[in-house]
Structures are given as C-alpha cells and as structure tokens.
Amino acid sequence: MKHFFLASILAGAMALPAFAADYKIIAPANPGGGWDQTARTLQTVMQSEGISGNVQVINVPGAGGTIGLAQFASQDKGNAGALIVGGYVMVGAILTNKSPVTLKDVTPIARLTGEYEAIVVPASSPFQTFGDLVEALKKDPGAVSWAGGSAGGTDHIAVGLIAKAAGVDPKKINYIAYSGGGEALAAILGAQVSAGISGYGEFESQVKAGTLRLLAVSSADRLEGIDAPTIKESGLDVVVENWRMVAAAPGLSDEQKAAVSADIEKLVKSAAWQEQLKTKGWQDTYLSGAAFDEQLAKDVSATEGVLKDIGLVE
C-alpha cells in the first residue's frame, strides 16, 4: 500500500505542468525605460499565459546595464529561474565602460523586439522640422543638447551617426546620458535640452498629447501609423534599430537552457505577446539558438566599429 501511495504521488508530480517554474527578471535600468518595460511585459505575459506562476522584476540600474549584468553573472550562476533583459544599448555600454563582464559571461536566449529611434523636441521648441535641428547642429554642435539613454547606447550612437552624416565632428556633440527613460523624458518636457532621442514607444503618449513634437524616425521607410519623416528623407543616410534580448544565467546545463528557451518561444508565439508588441510599437525580431548567437557576434563587432568611428571607444 505504501509503495502504491508513493507511486501515486510520483505519478501525480510528473503529471504536473512544467510551467510551475518561478522566474526573476533583472531589468538593468531604472523604472520607466525600455528595458524596464520589456521586463514587465515579459512578467505580465509569462503569468497570463501560465508559463510561470510567479515572475518578479528587479531593477538594477547603472552604467548602461553593465552593473546589473555583472551582478547577474556573479550572483545567479546556475540559476535556471533567473533572466536578464538587455540589448543593443548594453553592447555599446560594455565597450564604452570597458566592462570586465560581457554577454559572453551569460547565456543569451533570444532577441525579442526591435524599435526605431524617434527624435523629439518639446512643443515650445523653435525647431519645427528635423532639418531645422540639423542646421543648428551644423552651426554650433555644442549648443544643441540631446537627452537620451546610456553613453555608448543606441541613442548615443544614433546622434553620433546623425552628426557624422551632417558633416559635424561626432566628438563635439553635446549628449546627456540618462539611466532611465523617465528622467530623460522629464528633461525634454521641461525644455532643459534641445532635443530627445529614444524608442518611439517611450514618447508616444506625449507626442499624441501634443506636449512633444516628433521630428523624425530612424527607420529606412516611414512607419505605419506614425506621422513623421525618416532621417533619410532629410538627406542623411542614417538607419538605426534598437533591439532587445533576454539572457539566462551562466553555468546552465543544456537541459536547463533548452527549458528556458522553450518558455521564451512559447511566450513570443502567444497572442498576448503579439498584442503587447502592437500596443507598444515594438517590431517582432524574434531570433534564437545558433542563429541569434551568430547575429549577436556580428552586432558586437559592428558596434565596436561605429563607436570607434564616432570617438566613443579608442
């Protein structure tokens, strides 16, 4: 009877769904920015889709995500329930901050989303068009201040590329780096800076409310539902896409990595995730496995080239 009872318990345990895994997600930036939004969207969808019963988001801001990355790599080794959100910004920050911990020290799982950059000014700004802003930049680069995310991140790279394409020395740009989207937004709305740059999703509600004016987007073609010209239309050959990814802890077994990858795949294929992408204006750029590892290596190499070109890395 005892053996039968034990066998019944074991059979019952094996029949339990595998989604009982709890997750904690590190958002290596302050609340309000793109990584924080990505982490909280993962949290919402993982719970609503039954992928995980309990998902906790922890903010560890600073140095373009490299502080959170270093903490994650050292404290969560072998922990299959730990994830970190990162992306193109982190690639640049690792290089500019000469971070001893890189993406090679964690287990990249998948690229999730992509988002184009938007250039905005406060409604009170004298700059009516992107051309007006570029003319001012050409006249006196230091007098045009830009609010964006971390030094060496997508926003900073985009401003450097805009300056270079306009014939301005990128080393002369007046770029002010903010750790969280909320702080940058406050500076732009308060007209403490000339312009702001970030993913369109972070400015959308203010653009629609009329408190910010959208001057241009960094896509190759105009974006559906967004009333703004591309940077290319103004005559500057600049296209920038900020992608975001999720990585697992270092030191996972192949089985553990496969289980995490399966959970993320289930998430990105869900209707709830697709709905969130639409709502937030994020492009679906899902890529996983060896294809993502290969693309990541290419992106790291290309970013290093761009950062050297615009004087952010020696």
> What distance, in Å, lies between the first and last C-alpha atoms of the chain?
73
Residue 3 pLDDT class (50, 70, 90 cuts) = low
Indicate whether 120 and 108 sit together in one domain: no
Q: Which of 202, 234, 266 is the last residue of a domain?
A: 234
DSSP secondary structure of 251-275:
S--HHHHHHHHHHHHHHHTSHHHHH
Give tens-digit pLDDT for 165-201: 999 999 899 999 987 668 999 999 999 999 999 989 8
Indicate whether 250 and 109 sit together in one domain: yes
What mean pLDDT is predicted for residues 23-51? 95
Give whole-number Cα distances, 295 to 46, 219, 241, 287, in Å. 26, 20, 14, 9
Q: What is the mean pLDDT of the chain?
A: 91
- 229 CB-contact burial (10 Å; exposed 0-12 / middle 13-18 / buried 19+): middle
Taking the C-alpha atoms of residue 217 and residue 6, their distance in angstroms, rounded to an integer, is: 62
Indicate whether 221 and 274 sit together in one domain: no
DSSP state of 91: H
Residue that has been written with the tokens 């930049």 in this structure: 137
Taking the C-alpha atoms of residue 139 and residue 253, their distance in angstroms, rounded to an integer, is: 56
Residue that has been written with the tokens 């890395």 in this structure: 313
Pair 21, 52: CB distance under 8 Å: yes
Domain that holds residue 46: 2-114+243-310
Give tens-digit pLDDT for 128-165: 999 999 999 999 999 999 999 878 889 999 999 999 99
Residue 15 pLDDT class (50, 70, 90 cuts) = very low
**Nearest one of 276, 281, 300, 125 to 198, comparing CA atoms:** 281
Q: Which of 171, 201, 234 is the last residue of a domain?
A: 234
Query: In CATH, what number is assigned to the domain containing residue 157?
Result: 3.40.190.10
What mean pLDDT is predicted for residues 12-29? 70
Pair 22, 81: CB distance under 8 Å: yes
Pair 250, 73: CB distance under 8 Å: yes
Taking the C-alpha atoms of residue 183 and residue 179, their distance in angstroms, rounded to an integer, is: 8
**Nearest one of 20, 32, 45, 18 to 246, comparing CA atoms:** 45
Taking the C-alpha atoms of residue 34 and residue 42, their distance in angstroms, rounded to an integer, is: 12
Query: In CATH, what number is assigned to the domain containing residue 16?
Result: 3.40.190.150
Indicate whether 97 and 121 sit together in one domain: no
Whether residue 308 has pLDDT greater than 80: yes
The token pair at 51 is: 């992928």
Indicate whether 216 and 69 sit together in one domain: no
| Residues contacting 196, CB < 8 A, separation 6+ | 119, 120, 121, 146, 147, 148, 184, 185, 187, 188, 203, 212
The torsion angles phi and psi of 46, rounded to 5 degrees, stand at -60, -40
Indicate whether 7 and 102 sit together in one domain: yes
pTM for the whole structure: 0.76
Pair 19, 54: CB distance under 8 Å: no
Give tens-digit pLDDT for 74-131: 999 999 999 999 999 899 999 999 999 999 999 999 999 998 999 999 999 999 999 9
β-bridge mates for residue 245, sequence order: 86, 111
> Looking at per-residue confidence, does 194 or 63 come out higher?
194
Residue that has been written with the tokens 């697709």 in this structure: 274
Indicate whether 86 and 128 sit together in one domain: no
Count of structural domains, the chain: 2
> Looking at per-residue confidence, does 171 or 257 come out higher?
257
Indicate whether 264 and 166 sit together in one domain: no
Indicate whether 79 and 158 sit together in one domain: no
Q: Which of 217, 234, 251 is the last residue of a domain?
A: 234
